[in-house]
């Protein structure tokens, strides 16, 4: 049980007056102890007035701070709600084109969030005290591979044609390298299975399943992106398909830039 008499012996005048002025916030025992402590201190009228003003100022500041915090929480919740409404494909009253567009947006948002998570998760494997070219290439590649999906998502979110073109270019690359990675993984798996020593390094079923999942995920995204309704929604023309191929090659060049550190080492 709290001994208020001992606690209030070292408490400021302002705090004691706060107990008296805002007694509804305290238990009766605290109120009685505060009264007794003030009587013991025998404060002058001027001291009482000063302490009372300080107590009211403290309460006003606390109330304002709580109000600002609550306002920030409400604003944040409203932003989250608004953001979800903008990307949710299940909002009533949407046309077929908007539903498919928002489904693409939602699926790409998940992949973008996964890229950001992988970037921060990879940081723990870098030794920043001994930062050689291998580590530099690795972290630059991670940064580039994280920034590109974010920019693409921003363009898609704004429903711009360049968002469609960029996403198409990215998906071309993802599919090509996804197939190559899967073939490579399966090839190593068969090779290692025939070697009793190297077999311990063979890719697991989980790795193969993960690669297959992301490959199917990208195929679904590309299928939705190439849907006639979606292309009409973005006003995609024949030249935009060609542009998406050029963007794909440009992105391949950008993601390969860190390799220059190996060349000029």
Q: Using CA atoms, how far apart are residues 163 and 133, in angstroms rounded to an integer?
A: 33
Structure tokens at 69: 């915090």
> Do 122 and 45 belong to one domain?
no
Range of the domain at 201: 88-263
Under 8 Å between Cβ of 75 and 83? no
> Do 195 and 138 belong to one domain?
yes
Q: Using CA atoms, how far apart are residues 196 and 167, in angstroms rounded to an integer?
A: 43
End residue of a domain, out of 77, 105, 133: 77
> Do 127 and 250 belong to one domain?
yes
> Do 121 and 58 belong to one domain?
no
> Do 18 and 98 belong to one domain?
no
Angle made by CA atoms 147, 149, 154, in degrees to the nearest 5: 95
> Do 23 and 102 belong to one domain?
no
> Do 110 and 142 belong to one domain?
yes
> Do 212 and 104 belong to one domain?
yes
Torsion of CA 13, 16, 21, 25, to 10 degrees: 150
In the prediction, which pLDDT does 167 show? 92
The residue written with tokens 């542009």 in the block is 243
> Do 109 and 240 belong to one domain?
yes
The separation between CA 203 and the C-alpha centre of its own chain, rounded to angstroms, equals 30
Residue of 119, 138, 117 whose CA lies nearest to 127: 138
> Do 153 and 29 belong to one domain?
no
> Do 136 and 68 belong to one domain?
no
How many domains in the chain? 2
Query: Under the phi-then-psi rule, with left for phi > 0, alpha for psi from -120 to 50, and beta for the rest, what region is 89?
Result: alpha
Residues of the chain with pLDDT below 50 are 1, 194-202
Classify 223 as helix, strand or coil.
Answer: helix
The reply to whether 83 falls in a domain is: no
> Could you tell me the pTM of the whole model?
0.62
The reply to whether 82 falls in a domain is: no
The reply to whether 192 falls in a domain is: yes
């Amino acid at each position: 049980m709290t001994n208020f008499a001992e606690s209030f012996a070292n408490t400021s005048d302002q705090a004691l007056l706060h107990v008296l002025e805002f007694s509804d916030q305290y238990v009766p025992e605290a109120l009685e102890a505060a009264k007794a402590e003030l009587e013991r201190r025998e404060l002058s009228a001027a001291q009482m007035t000063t302490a009372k003003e300080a107590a009211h100022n403290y309460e006003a500041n606390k109330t304002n701070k709580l109000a600002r915090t609550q306002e920030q929480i409400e604003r944040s919740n409203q932003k989250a709600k608004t953001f979800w409404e903008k990307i949710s494909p299940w909002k009533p009253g949407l046309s077929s084109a908007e539903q498919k567009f928002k489904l693409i947006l939602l699926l790409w948002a998940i992949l973008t969030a996964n890229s950001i998570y992988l970037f921060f998760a990879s940081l723990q494997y870098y030794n920043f005290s001994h930062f050689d070219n291998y580590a530099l290439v690795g972290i630059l590649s991670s940064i580039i591979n994280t920034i590109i999906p974010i920019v693409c998502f921003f363009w898609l979110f704004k429903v711009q044609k360049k968002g469609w073109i960029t996403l198409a270019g990215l998906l071309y690359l993802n599919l090509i390298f996804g197939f190559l990675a899967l073939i490579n993984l399966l090839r190593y798996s068969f090779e290692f299975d025939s070697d009793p020593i190297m077999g311990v390094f063979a890719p697991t079923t989980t790795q193969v399943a993960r690669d297959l999942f992301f490959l199917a995920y990208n195929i679904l995204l590309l299928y939705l992106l190439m849907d006639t309704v979606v292309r009409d929604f973005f006003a995609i023309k024949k030249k935009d398909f060609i542009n998406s191929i050029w963007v794909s090659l440009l992105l391949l060049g950008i993601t390969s830039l860190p390799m220059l550190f190996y060349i000029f080492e």
